[in-house]
A and B are shown apart, each in its own frame.
Chain A
Amino acid sequence: MTMPSDRLSGAVLFIFGLAMYFAIIPTFVEQAEGGNIAPNTLPNILSWMIAIGGAFLVLKPTPHQTQDLRYFARALMHGAILCAGIYAMTWFGFLYVAPVLALVIMVVIGERRMHWLALGAIGMPALIWIFITQILDRALP
């Protein structure tokens, strides 16, 4: 099942544009003397463009339909796995985390065949290690 999306995305963009203009830009853009354009000029103009565009979409949405919520949930789950994997890399490094991350992703996708699991979880990280550290002489993360 798909769902109409423009009102939702338009509302989010409208709020985002206003938040940028009224809260974020005044706080996080340092002002400077001189110059032809103030540092906040372009961000302010763009924030207004986004807010007005968002409001327009709320008032006059296109027939665009977005995916079912369960697809978003699955994408979120895969995104969370990626985040966890990259966080783990900051502690243990690519060499130890990559095989586990690849294995988890493949199992979640539904792969159960041992030879493909071995290729993805051991073969590919090994190939990347050889290519990066031995051939290109670079460090892995």
Chain B
Amino acid sequence: MVELSTILAGFGDAFSLINLAYVLLGVVIGQFVGAVPGIGPVMAMAIAVPFTFALDPLPAIAFLIGVNKGGLVGGAVPAVLMNTPGTPDAAATALDGYPLAKSGKPLKATKMALFSSVTGDTFSDIVLITVSAPMAILALKMGPVEILALMIFAFSVLAGLVGNSLVKGIIAAALGLLFATIGSDPENYTPRLIFGMWDLYDGLPLASVAIGMLAISEILRRLSETGGKVEAAIDLIDTGNPDDRRVTWDEYWSCRYVMLRGAVTGTILGALPGIGSTAAAFMSYAFTKAASDDPQSFGKGNIKGIAAAESANSAVVGANLIPLLTLGIPGSVGAALIISAFMIHGLQPGPLLFENQGRLVYGLFGAMIMANFINLWVGQLGLRFWVKVVTAPISVIFSSAILMCIVGVSMATSGLFGVAVMLVFAGLGYLMASFGYSLVIFIIAFFLGPRLEISVAQSLALTNGDLSQILRYPVAVALLVMSVVAVAYLLWRNQAIQRLEQKDDANV
């Protein structure tokens, strides 16, 4: 059990001036890039990870958390103003945000998104702080066989990300695992698939793979769609009525149950790795619409629609860290990038993190809570400015993003070889996305691959290669049963969400 003094010391670290400064910087950058259509917090985090090299672990990870949280708030701005969500999570926000903005209330819509986002986020952070330490204690009781079963469980929850085609999901996972085998064999340390390039002996650099697949491939996709046109600025309608520029307390309070439902939905879905914030936002939106006395007003500028979507998608961020910190399993790409930041600083997320780095973990929790307040404060001050950001030309945004990716990867990998690897994976990511293969599954499988192979080797050694001996490990058996149930449940849930979204699209 983590001692109270460690918890207090951690929270004390979180409130240091330098840490708060990095959280503030992360939130500002996150809100800024979230407001730029096509960039989004995941791409911003991917670019920012290598820049955290020079920082201590807590400010570095707190900075990334700030980028992630700020990005979700910023992502609502283009969704509301242009019907072009800066992040997929904000797509449900656009359903009511855009009609509200078109009716002359763009600031009211963006402020409601901000308030409900911070409310949902704070709720899930409190749940994270409460449940993660007890879960980590349970996880510590596991041996290699249980860890292998846990890894299988982690792969089974990827089924939640499969989308329309199970086969494509399996192929994406297999490709991620195959690329993870490049480097040295974990048992004998013989070179494997390095093609004479000894730079690959330690494996493909995670920063190159993540930035190539998530950032550069997306930039290539967006650039290919511009066709020599620089996107035009938008016209904002202002009615001149001060009430249309703010959210009153009565309006906020009238959404309390909507936000609570959204926060609970987002927290539950966020704690289950692989489901994601977009699904949470649409589910919360659908629940709210179904429970409303006036469902016809949804899709036409109902402020509760914004509250439902934003409280749910933001609640996923905190809850995503539950499997990451307790089991070392990333539940989303954002979480996978946070894991890479942990690893850059020599830390291995998982149950031992609470025991070995308890002060850091509680410092991180403190930073998350602070990030919520800073998000609210920066959002209040900055929304007027972020509204202007959506008009920035993509030419400047993307050329700058490319330069930052190059610099970031070269810093992370100490040279241009990593940048070349990034380009290769940018091409692969572009092709995979174009042909409908999940990049998220690929990245998570790539990250989990080496640990899976080591777990298999250790388990085989422990059981003398006799699979029936697994029956001697009841926790492992329970996890394997859970894996089967999870695959069945997530595939069913995935189809149900898709049906819900299609039905919602048809109604709007």
> Which B residues contact A (CB, under 8 angstroms)?
51, 53-54, 164-165, 167-168, 170-171, 174-175, 177-178, 181, 185, 187-188, 190-195, 216, 220-221, 223-230, 393-396, 398-400, 402-404, 406-407, 410-411, 415-416, 419-420, 423, 426-427, 430, 434-437, 453, 456-458, 460-461, 465
Known: A43-B178, A50-B171. A75 touches B393 (CB 8 A): no
Closest residue on chain B to residue A39 by CB atoms: B185
Within 8 A of B (CB), among A58-79: 62, 64, 66-67, 71-72, 74-75, 78-79
How distant is B202 from chain A, measured CB to nearest CB, in Å?
Answer: 16
Closest 10 CB pairs of A and B: A111-B395, A32-B188, A39-B185, A141-B410, A35-B187, A36-B460, A75-B224, A74-B224, A30-B190, A64-B436
Contact call B224/A72, Cβ cutoff below 8 A: yes
Known: A105-B398, A141-B410. A50 touches B456 (CB 8 A): no
Contact call B395/A25, Cβ cutoff below 8 A: no
> Which A residues contact B (CB, under 8 angstroms)?
5-6, 8-9, 13, 20, 24-25, 28-32, 34-37, 39-40, 42-43, 46-47, 49-50, 53-54, 56-57, 62, 64, 66-67, 71-72, 74-75, 78-79, 82-83, 86, 89-90, 94, 98, 101-102, 105-106, 108-111, 113, 116, 119-121, 124-125, 128, 132, 136-138, 140-141
How distant is A99 from chain B, measured CB to nearest CB, in Å?
Answer: 9
Contact call B396/A141, Cβ cutoff below 8 A: no
* Chain A residues, CB < 8 A from B53: 138
Contact call A66/B407, Cβ cutoff below 8 A: no
* Chain A residues, CB < 8 A from B396: 106, 111, 116, 119-120, 124
Contact partner of A105 (CB less than 8 A), chosen from B181, B191, B399, is B399
Contact call A25/B193, Cβ cutoff below 8 A: yes
How distant is A126 from chain B, measured CB to nearest CB, in Å?
Answer: 11
Contact call A42/B229, Cβ cutoff below 8 A: no
Q: Can you offer 23 A-B residue contacts whose CB atoms are under 8 A?
A: A28-B192, A30-B185, A30-B191, A35-B457, A36-B457, A37-B456, A43-B192, A43-B193, A46-B175, A56-B167, A62-B165, A62-B168, A64-B165, A67-B224, A74-B225, A101-B399, A102-B400, A102-B402, A106-B395, A109-B399, A124-B403, A136-B54, A141-B415
* Chain A residues, CB < 8 A from B398: 105, 109
* Chain A residues, CB < 8 A from B178: 20, 43, 46-47, 50
Contact call B399/A120, Cβ cutoff below 8 A: yes
Given contacts A35-B185, A37-B460, 10 further A-B contacts (CB under 8 A): A8-B435, A28-B193, A30-B192, A37-B456, A42-B456, A75-B430, A82-B423, A105-B398, A110-B226, A120-B400
Contact call A75/B221, Cβ cutoff below 8 A: yes
